[in-house]
A = this chain, B = another copy of it.
Amino acid sequence: MISWLGRHGSGAESPRSRKRTASLPVERVSIEAIRPEPRAVIAQAAYLQLGAFEALSRAAGAAPDLHAKAALSAAAGLVLAKHRALFAELERRGVSPADAMAEYRPGIDAFYELVAGADWYEALASIYLTSGLLDDFFSRLAAGIEDGGAKVSAVIAGDSGTDAIVALLAAGMEADPKLASRLAVWGRRLVGDTLLVARSALPPTERTAEHRIEPVLTELMAEHTRRMDRLGLTA
């Protein structure tokens, strides 16, 4: 079983094939069946995009050359546009975005500090992997919002300039093969903290009933593994 906090490695791709999963008649829900509180989900997703934007801006500022700076600035612009769209979505619902996001600020700020990385490449890997996982999760969760969920989900799932980040990471690893093993460790370390952020966005009843949410975790981990694969790394 994949847990929010447990280990998840080679088995993440096909846990359905495991005996325990196949034999236990567990009541499962797809994440879309969760009806989340729109304000909470959108505010968290909006603040997460803002954090990703800040991380990208910092990485753009620290870029070693202008090609990288331009690529990361463009990515920052895409992520900021996602933040702004979610911000506007809160306003449209009569919610003060700043007030709604404030509740989640301490936790999310602490998360982004944890995953900031020791150098530029770790920072890039963090942005790619944590935003990837969180966008996957929040776009699924937002789809369950009764009024306008599909739209919010599409915003969150929108392009974050990922291709450019992957290209920069690939170039870095080609130039320095040692970087790959460091990023592989780093990529695995990020998962736990990122899943905790996702978990905290679930309604309390779902949060404690982990078996109900396991299929979602399985999918999230499979997608994380695909992102690591794209970097040529083992998840």
Contacts and interface: CB of A to CB of B under 8 A. Distances in A.
Interface residues of A, number: 27
Number of copies: 2
Interface stretch (A1-9, A28-36, A54-62, A126-134): A54-62
Interface in A78-103: 80-81, 83-84, 87, 97-99, 101-102
Interface of A: 50, 53-54, 57-58, 60-61, 65-67, 69-70, 73-74, 76-77, 80-81, 83-84, 87, 97-99, 101-102, 105
A80 B87 contact: no
B50 A69 contact: yes
Secondary structure at the A interface, as helix, strand, loop or mixed, is: helix
Contacts of A53: 57, 73
B70 A97 contact: yes
A88 B196 CA distance: 40
Nearest 6 pairs of A and B residues by beta carbon: A57-B57, A66-B98, A67-B98, A77-B80, A54-B61, A66-B102
B60 A101 contact: no
A84 B80 contact: no
A61 to B, nearest CB: 5
13 contacts: A54-B57, A54-B60, A57-B57, A57-B60, A57-B61, A65-B98, A66-B97, A66-B99, A66-B101, A67-B98, A69-B98, A77-B81, A80-B80
